[in-house]
Structure 1
């Protein structure tokens, strides 16, 4: 039985009216994670509005060089707030794992990234428990090393749709 037998599907914008930014921003993150397929339906996370540009924040902190001229690696923080399609969504942990995997593959490597995933307040029955699980680094690393789980993650990730 499906968690959400009748999801609301929206059209994803293909262009933006905003001028290009000078750096990596929310639109770039959305272009990476938006094409991830929902585990339950043949639609992307962007089409289902599980992820949206308005719910993504990107901050990059440049690091200055000290004395010897060697520059320290810049630090970046990405905050993504997910909006499950139903309050009892049992796939939200799987979706979060897909986002972790996708970003690992496509984030600019010259920046040390920290990822913080959240849920729209009140959007899930087990909100606090889920947020704790999807941000647990050890749990995420263990899941990404599990061949069975990775097969399911790969099924949802469409690398051909990513522009990076």
Structure 2
């Protein structure tokens, strides 16, 4: 199957990915709805922000493909560092950088600026893990990538809110 994202066509690398069950939404408590109570950002909240990101190759979410999982997210409230690891579906996935860019953009747009986002591929899960991690941590490279209108369009489609 050939896919066209607006900046070239390519062959699907993982034409039949394994699909996993999704986590049920957590119940919202009265304390979470009370604006007078400070609700610290936790791993579940960060996971909830990224779980519905659409995969660029398939009509599935990153959660359904188990690219993101709550146990791969940590939040250190003292240092305000949010660490997110993601796991591409195959070790040679050419979409790994795009997926990481989508996660970074979604978090940058959703979280307060004082949080540092530490985004990386789960260790040992991609052939080009070090190079991709370096790209995703480089603020200038991320900014330059987002200046490409075709790439930005793809990112915006992937992170668009789901329609229920």
- TM-score, length-normalised on structure 2? 0.81
Find the counterpart in structure 2 of residue 80 from structure 1. 84
Q: CA deviation at 1:54?
A: 0.4
Matched, 1:95 2:99: yes
Which residues of structure 1 form unaligned runs of 5+? 62-74
Instruction: Look up the SS of the partner of 1:133 in the other structure.
Output: helix
Q: Structure 1 runs of 4+ off > 4 angstroms?
A: 19-22
Residues 58, 78 of structure 1: 8 Å contact kept: yes
Matched, 1:132 2:142: no
CA deviations on 1:122-160 (whole Å, 9 max, x unpaired) are 211111111111111110111122222111111111224
RMSD: 2.0
CA deviations on 1:106-129 (whole Å, 9 max, x unpaired) are 11x3x5011111112221111111
Residues 143, 149 of structure 1: 8 Å contact kept: yes
Which residues of structure 2 form unaligned runs of 5+? 1-10, 33-38
Instruction: Look up the SS of the partner of 1:58 in the other structure.
Output: strand
Q: CA deviation at 1:8?
A: 1.0
Q: How does 1:104-143 map to 2 (within 5 A)?
A: 104-107=108-111, 109=112, 112-143=114-145
Q: How does 1:14-163 map to 2 (within 5 A)?
A: 14-16=24-26, 22-61=39-78, 76-107=80-111, 109=112, 112-160=114-162
- TM-score, length-normalised on structure 1? 0.81
CA deviations on 1:50-100 (whole Å, 9 max, x unpaired) are 010000011122xxxxxxxxxxxxx51111111110001000110111111
Q: CA deviation at 1:7?
A: 0.7
